[in-house]
Structure 1
Amino acid sequence: MDAYPDLPFPRTDLALSAMRFARDIEDPAIFNHSMRTYLFGRCIGEQQGLRPDLDYDDELLFLGCVLHDAGLSDPGDGENRFDVDGADLAARFLGEQGVSPERVEVVWDAIALHLFHEVALRKRPEIALVTAGAGFDLGADGPYTLPAGYADRVHAALPRLHAAAVLFDSIARQALAKPHKAPPYTMPGEFLRQRTGRDWPTWRQLMTQPTGWHDYDGYPPAG
């Protein structure tokens, strides 16, 4: 963390290892986004009255943030949606570092749930603040504001590098190569639809596939 002396990152050996791991495998724009996610998530926690290492485990929050988009890296590109692939990669990395299964599970949940805002924000702070910080960095609406000048400090150390555009292209690229990673009605699926212009099947069409149970046979049209 020596490159960020004025920013409140945890500086444990595990945090440093996770930071180096993410930096080595991710696009710089995605890495910077992940680091900002922690800073903004922690700041949101402070506005909620949550104190690092008193009300939540600050190291776990950092691990969830810095690894939350690891599924968009080449090593993280598996056969699931990128959020689940990233959670799996993070779990493998942390297991190799000797992290206990209980702590690994918190990080896995934080990463796997970070696209499901309504769920994640109801979970423990180490999970909720990953979602809150990532959303804030990408312009999500919310009741929180940053201290004057704080965003400028963060962006000076961690430039945006077209973060939103790079994230879109990374998700869409995986989806184009492996469409099963972007099922209809998911965020990756929507990115794929926007990139290709294809139409998704309706609910009824999905339910009347050859393997369906014919639930619409004889069902009266909606009035």
Structure 2
Amino acid sequence: MDSYDYLPFPRTDRALSAMRLARDIEDPAIYNHSMRAYLFGRFIGEQQGLRPDLDYDDELLFLGCVLHDAGLSDRGNGEGRFDIDGADLAAGFLTEQGLPSESVEVVWDAIALHLCPDIALRKRPEIALVTAGAGFDLGPDGPFTLPAGYADRIHAVLPRLHAAAVLYDTIVGQALAKPHKAPPYTMPGELLRQHTGQEWPTWQQLMTRPPSWSDYDGYQPTT
């Protein structure tokens, strides 16, 4: 972490191991995005009056951020949505690192929920700030304004490398190879739909394709 000396990353052995894992398996643009997610998540927490290691576990926040897109690596590319695959990879890795099971569960939730802000932002800070930080890195809108020069200092060490475009291409690339990783009405599914131009099935089509319980047979709507 020599090049990150003036940035407030945790320096625990476990944090360093997770950082090295992410750096080794992820595209550099995705790795940099994950590291920035922590810095922005921590900043948003501070704006909300949350103090690292007093109001939340700073190491757990970092672990959730740095591994939140591990499912977009070759190693993490399993048979589920990339957020779930990444949560599973992180949980296995952190268990091997000796992280207690209750803490592993917090990190799993933070990663698995990061595409569901309506849920994640209502959870404990270690979960909510992963979603907040990752989202802020891709679209710095909302009620929080960074201090002058703060983003420039971060980008000087962790350049963007076309992060949003690389994320899109990686998510879509996985989904083209394994369409079940991008089911309809999910974020990966929507990106795949945009790329291919395919139409999603309607609710009735989903409910009546075999096998089904035939709920629409003989049904007469009241309105």
Answer whether TM exceeds 0.5 for this pair: yes
Q: Which residue of 2 aligns with 1:51?
A: 51
1:34 partner letter:
S
In the other structure, the counterpart of 2:66 is 66
Describe how 1:19-34 pairs up with structure 2 within 5 A: 19-34=19-34
Partner of residue 36, structure 2: 36
- 1:150-175 per-residue CA deviation (whole Å, 9 max, x = no partner) reads 01111111000000000000000010
Query: Is the alpha carbon distance of 1:207 and 1:75 closer, same or farther for their aligned partners in structure 2, counting shifts above 3 Å?
Result: same
Amino acid at match of 1:215: D
- 1:100: Cα distance to partner? 0.9
Q: Distance in 2 between matches of 1:140 and 1:186?
A: 22
Structure 1 residues 1-223: aligned runs within 5 Å? 1-139=1-139, 141-221=141-221, 223=223
Considering only aligned residues, what root-mean-square deviation do their CA atoms show, in Å? 0.9
TM-score in terms of structure 2 length = 0.98
How far, CA to CA, are the matches of 1:145 and 1:45 in structure 2? 13
Give the secondary-structure state (helix, strand or coil) at the position aligned to 2:2. coil
* Alignment coverage as a number of residue pairs: 223
Deviations 1:18-49 (A, max 9, x none): 10000000000000000000000000000000
Between the aligned partners of 1:121 and 1:210, the Cα distance in structure 2 is 37
Distance (whole Å) between structure 1 residues aligned to residue 116 and residue 210 of structure 2: 30
Name the amino acid aligned to 1:80.
Answer: G
1:30-78 deviations in whole A, cap 9, x for unaligned?
Answer: 0000000000000000000000000000000000000000000000000
Unpaired runs of 5+ in structure 2?
none
Structure 2 SS opposite 1:61: helix
Percent identity between the two aligned chains: 81
- 2:36 and 2:30 map into 1 onto residues whose CA distance is 10
CA distance, structure 2, for counterparts of residue 115 and residue 56 of structure 1: 21
| Runs of 4+ residues deviating >4 angstroms | none
In structure 1, C-alpha distance between the alignment counterparts of 2:140 and 2:116, rounded to whole Å: 13
| Cα distance between partner residues in 2 of 1:42 and 1:222 | 51
Q: Give 1:221 shift.
A: 4.2
Q: Secondary structure at the match of 1:3?
A: helix
Measured after TM superposition, the shift of residue 222 of structure 1 is: 6.2
Mapped to 1, the partners of 2:81 and 2:158 lie a distance apart of 27
Structure 1 stretches of 5 or more lacking a match? none
Q: Distance in 2 between matches of 1:192 and 1:58?
A: 35
TM-score, normalised to structure 1, is: 0.98
